[in-house]
Amino acid sequence: MEKKKPKNVFVQGAISSEFIGTSIAKHQTKTSIGAHNIFLGQVRADQIDGKMVSAIDYTAYEEMANQKFHEIREATFEKFDLTCMHIYHSLGTVNAGEICLFVFVSSPRRKVVFKALEYVVEAIKADVPVFGKEIFEDQTHQWKQNS
Amino acid sequence: MQLTIKYFGMLAEATTINEEHLQTEVCSVSQLIKKLKNQYPKLDNADFKVAIDQQLVDQSHIINSEVEVALLPPFAGG
């Protein structure tokens, strides 16, 4: 188990594939792990009324969001036999095709990580005060809403 | 007493501010919202939840101390 103080989940801008790769590599020393599961949220170039989303500008109520992420972590460790868990979410502008959410769960056994990852991602979508401004190619915008 | 009111996302856009201080008597969340809607008519049709000191509360919650009130539009994380 990891230590339990609230962490800062937010990173400025897109989450790079190098960052994700390095994060995976860091687990090579944790040899009780038998299974990792990773969720990557990617900004989708939605077509809305003939206009294409080119980026999302993320903002958050950061203090409350970090507290919510912490509660989700605690609840997930309570429910599932995980070795470790990492969550990173973007703030600021993330272009279509780039990664805005990285959730990484690890356990001795595979069945646990399939269930745990879905639980974490759904909780993030429902409970964390993060807001997204979808910016179109013509620089107009609309506000995103999780469904 | 003085409240800190925070606006996020489309609500910050509608009010054109991120944060303000407001003097008020003891009131319920619904009374406070009514007051804010009078001040910012664009809030009238907006969909939002209210958090007090980072905890979601319902409309009947009584505000009786100097707290931070946040108006939170629909979440869009991930």
Neighbours of A8 (CB within 10 A): 10
Residue A35 three-state SS: strand
Q: Considering only CB atoms, which chain B residues are within 8 Å of A132?
A: 9, 76-77
pLDDT of A1 > 80? The answer is no
A131 touches chain B (CB under 8 A): yes
Of the two residues B50 and A146, the one the predictor is more confident about is B50
Cα A76 to Cα A123: distance, rounded to the nearest angstrom: 10
Residue A15: what residue type?
I
For residue A16, the 8-state DSSP code is P
Cα A128 to Cα B76: distance, rounded to the nearest angstrom: 8
pLDDT, one tens digit per residue, over A9-44 is 999 999 999 999 999 999 999 999 999 999 999 999
- pLDDT at residue A4 in the model: 60
Pairing of strands B27-28, B19-23: unpaired
Residue B51 and residue B8 in contact, taking contact as beta carbons nearer than 8 Å: no
pLDDT of A3 > 60? The answer is no
Question: Could you tell me which residues are beta bridge partners of residue B20?
Answer: B5
pLDDT, one tens digit per residue, over A111-141 is 999 999 999 999 999 999 999 999 999 999 9
Residue A120: what residue type?
V
Cα A124 to Cα B30: distance, rounded to the nearest angstrom: 27
Res. A7 pLDDT band, cuts 50 70 90: confident
pLDDT of A103 > 50? The answer is yes
A41 touches chain B (CB under 8 A): yes
Cα B42 to Cα B45: distance, rounded to the nearest angstrom: 7
> Mean pLDDT over residues A65-78, rounded?
97
pLDDT, one tens digit per residue, over B22-52 is 999 999 999 999 999 999 999 999 999 999 9
- pLDDT at residue A138 in the model: 94
> Mean pLDDT over residues A97-112, rounded?
98
* Count of residues making up chain B: 78
**Phi, psi (rounded to 5 degrees) for B4:** -100, 125
In CATH, what is the architecture of B2-72? Roll (3.10)
**Phi, psi (rounded to 5 degrees) for A126:** -85, -35
Contact call for A129 and B76, based on CB within 8 A = no
Torsion of Cα atoms, B44 then B48 then A147 then A19, to 10°: 130
Res. A109 pLDDT band, cuts 50 70 90: very high
ipTM of the complex: 0.95
Among residues A99, A103, A97, the alpha carbon closest in space to that of A84 is found at: A103
Res. A146 pLDDT band, cuts 50 70 90: confident
Nearest to A131 among B6, B51, B73 (CB): B73
Nearest to B8 among A101, A131, A145 (CB): A131
Residue A134 and residue A144 in contact, taking contact as beta carbons nearer than 8 Å: yes
Half-sphere exposure of A68 (CA within 13 A, CB side): 26
Residue A21 three-state SS: helix
Residue A65 and residue A120 in contact, taking contact as beta carbons nearer than 8 Å: no
